Structures are given as C-alpha cells and as structure tokens.
Amino acid sequence: MEARELLYEGKAKKLFATADPDRLLQFFKDDATAFNAKKRGTIVDKGILNNAISEVFFRLLENAGVPTHFVRRLDDRHMLVKRLEIVPVEMVVRNVIAGSLAKRLGLEEGRPLPEPIVEFFYKSDPLDDPMINEWHVRVLKMATQAEIDRMVELTLRTNAVLQPFLAERGIVLVDMKLEFGRFHGEIVLGDEICPDTCRFWDSSSGEKMDKDRFRRDLGKVEEAYQEIARRVGA
C-alpha cells in the first residue's frame, strides 16, 4: 500500500492517505516532545521501536477481543491502519500513582492503586490537554454516552490484557494513554501504545523505562526503549 498525500503531521507520527479511503499509513518519527512540545528532542530509532512495540500490543489486544485500527506493519517505520474519526479525548488508565495524578492530588509517586483509575483529557495542544470528565465529553458532544461507556470498557480491558503480559516480562504498567475513534460506527482503539504513551517501570529495580527518561533528563533513553522492545518480543 503506497503512501499518497500527507494528511497530518503530529509530534510523533505522520499520517498519509492511501488509495483505499478506509486505510491510512502511520509513519513513526524519532522526534520526541514533552510538556506539550515545550521540550523537544530526538530519540534515535524511537520510531522503529514504537512501530514494532505497538504492533505487538495491537496483535495481543485483537486476540483478546479489543478492536484496534491495526492492519499490518509494512516496514520499519510504517504501519497500515484503519482510518478512524478520532474522538478528541485521551483516555488514561492508571495502576500506580505517578505523573499528573501525583501532582494534582499531592500524592507520592509509586503507590499502587487498589483498582485502576480511568481519566479523560481533552485532546487540545493549544489548551495543554486539560482534564475533563464524562459530563464534558457527553454534553459538549465529543462522544455519546454509549461511546463513552464503550471507551471506558475497552480502556479497562486493554489495561487488563497488557498489565499481566508486561508483568510476566518484569515490567510494571504504571499508566497509559489511549485514543479511540469511530470506524463504520464502531469504537476502535487507535494511535500507538509504546514507551511514549505508557509508563513502564522495571519490576525489580523500579527504574523508569519510558518517555519519563526523556522528560526528566534521566539519560539512557534509547536503551530503555530498546529494552522494552526486547522484553515484549518486538
């Protein structure tokens, strides 16, 4: 499937049209941004690793009954996906207190939660992705109540599939951000699932193995992405 016109260039990927109106090509870049693009850099071969890691997760999820946009990986940096109408809501699921949850509620990073917490954020770069709730999503017509319920269900199912898979490989799934969209009336998981969009901590050392190494200048960023790819068999 050959790429046609560039439809969108985001912070981590480019989206290209294809001859099939139902299919897009995702091109994974090495560009890294944090704090809503106030910090910019490059993580060598990040695009290759995120493409491969996302493929592993999408295949696992499809087999577990989570509909995803994944069709197939075409090469190192290209993934063929279903073209979705993206719901402008970032769904976050958390298993361990970290990041903005720790900050917002004044909690210590690292405490496991007794059950997962699901959060909604409005996907808007100019507004810095503000946190919202189901009422905003429904009343402002970002999604219907049925779509919200389905996104919550699929977010929790995704977490329930990936958490034990990663635990077996010595990785704690601390939290992750998911994006959903509509495909012929169905809610489908889109975008990417990788160390850019998840927090992964090494189970024994607690060491961070994700984009926090870049955000917080912890060094060994490339090594962490490579190690995640190795452990998940990407």
In the complex, the residues that contact ligand ADP under the rule CB under 6 A are 8, 10-13, 15, 24, 69, 81-84, 86, 179, 181, 190-191
For residue 105, the minimal CB distance to ligand ADP (Å) is 25
Residue with Cβ nearer ligand ADP (8 or 135): 8
Minimal distance, residue 125 CB to ligand ADP, in Å: 7
- Report which residue's Cβ sits closest to ligand ADP: 10
Nearer to ligand ADP, 32 or 228 (CB): 32
The whole-angstrom separation of Cα 116 and Cα 9 is 32
Closest contact distance (angstroms) between CB of 69 and ligand ADP is: 4
- 26 vs 226, beta carbon nearer ligand ADP: 26
Question: In 3-state terms, what secondary structure has residue 186?
Answer: strand
Closest CA to 129 of 27, 14, 37: 37
Structure tokens at 213: 């190494």
Nearest to ligand ADP of 91, 97 (CB atom):
91
Q: How far is residue 113's CA from residue 102's CA, in Å, rounded to a whole number?
A: 12
Nearer to ligand ADP, 46 or 97 (CB): 46
Q: Give least dist CB 194 to ligand ADP, A.
A: 10
For the chain, where are the E strands, in sequence order? 6-9, 13-17, 23-28, 31-34, 39-42, 70-73, 78-82, 85-96, 112-122, 131-132, 171-183, 186-189, 198-202
Look up tokens 């912070």; give the residue: 11
CA angle 89, 130, 146 (to 5 degrees): 30
CB of 198 to ligand ADP, least distance (A): 14
